Amino acid sequence: MACASTGCRIPLGVQVVRQRHRRQQRRRQIDASATGDGAALSKPGKVSVLGHSVWNNASLNRHIGLCPEQDAFYEWMTGRDFISTCARLTGLSRGEAREAALGALELVGMTPNMDRAIRGYSKGMRQRTKLAQALVHDPQVLFLDEPLTGTDPVARRDLMDIIRHLGESGKSVVVSSHVLHEVQAVTPHIILLNHGRLVAEGHVRQLRDLIDKYPHRIVLMCENYRQLASRLVTFEDVEGMELLKKEKGVLVETRMPDAFYARLPDLALHDACRITEVYSDDDNLEAVFKYLVNK
């Protein structure tokens, strides 16, 4: 196991990773810790990384990378100098640090700007640089706290690709975020926390199954939405329906979403229907989180 915790409560900024729960993280996996806002106090317990206790164990620093939510730069330094300095602090020699810094900056797409002073960096550049300092010493375990905050669409896409690649390459990655749709885009394995308490854990689809006793809402967009509705009303797995006149669509409620989705190909081939889009907000993590914290 890469990480384990027992009976403890550990704030990551205002995001709490665990309370009264034994957590073990396997190698080669990305865990996303999706949380609601709210501060929490620490609670004593046991935490181990790579089988070793983290308390008073500086030797583990070499194996852990942290990308904090808040900036903590020497603003007058260049990006290259800052990352090299961070590498030296993990025990690398001067030459090793320079080489590792260049590799980390290249990985996060910062080589064109690495010789500029950090004080002139945009928010996206700062996020990339923070990720580079977490990666520069090639740690096995990574903790990324709100790594996508304030980034533009291009930087967000690039950082999400990097995070996914890190998990696929064999590293254990824990991402803490309250932006649930971004969490879902990075990994399907989710830990839902609310004010420090574990709400649920598992694959997004498994979490969604927790609330399948409530109707699943599916929207079908169609120019001939009235004709579509006339066909849907005959489906035994459809419990409710609403015409979306402005959007030209139909909102369907069903307790058997899998059976309903299985019917869609035949329905879409019907000339009178001409379905242009199908989506469900209930499939996303935001809907799961709202239900679980309010039930």
* Same domain assignment for residues 96 and 198: yes
Quickly list DSSP for 50-82. Answer: TTEE-TT-GGGGGGEEEE-SS----TTSBHHHH
* Same domain assignment for residues 133 and 204: yes
* Same domain assignment for residues 228 and 254: yes
* Same domain assignment for residues 14 and 150: yes
- Average of per-residue pLDDT across 281-290: 67
* pLDDT for res 135: 96
pLDDT digits (tens, 9 = 90+) for 145-188: 988 887 888 888 898 999 989 888 888 888 888 776 777 778 87
For residue 148, the number of C-alpha atoms closer than 13 Å in the C-beta half-sphere is 25
In the predicted model, is pLDDT for residue 290 greater than 80? Answer: no
Label residue 45 by pLDDT band (50, 70, 90): low
* Same domain assignment for residues 168 and 25: yes
* Same domain assignment for residues 179 and 224: no
* Same domain assignment for residues 37 and 132: yes
* pLDDT for res 47: 74
pTM over cut 0.75: no
* Same domain assignment for residues 177 and 198: yes
In the predicted model, is pLDDT for residue 46 greater than 70? Answer: yes
Please give the residue range of the domain that contains residue 103: 3-209
Among 209, 226, 242, the domain boundary falls at 209
Domain count of the chain? 2
pLDDT digits (tens, 9 = 90+) for 231-268: 888 888 888 889 998 888 999 988 888 888 888 888 77
| Residue bearing the bigger pLDDT, 242 or 28 | 242
* Same domain assignment for residues 152 and 227: no
* Same domain assignment for residues 166 and 181: yes
pLDDT digits (tens, 9 = 90+) for 194-244: 777 777 778 877 776 766 666 788 898 888 888 888 888 888 888 888 999
What is the residue-averaged pLDDT of the chain? Answer: 79
Among 154, 179, 209, the domain boundary falls at 209
Among 209, 236, 268, the domain boundary falls at 209
* pLDDT for res 97: 96
- Give me the helix-helix angle, 257-268 and 225-232, nearest 10°: 130
Rounded to whole angstroms, the Cα distance separating 177 from 180 reads 7
Rounded to whole angstroms, the Cα distance separating 205 from 289 reads 12
* pLDDT for res 282: 65
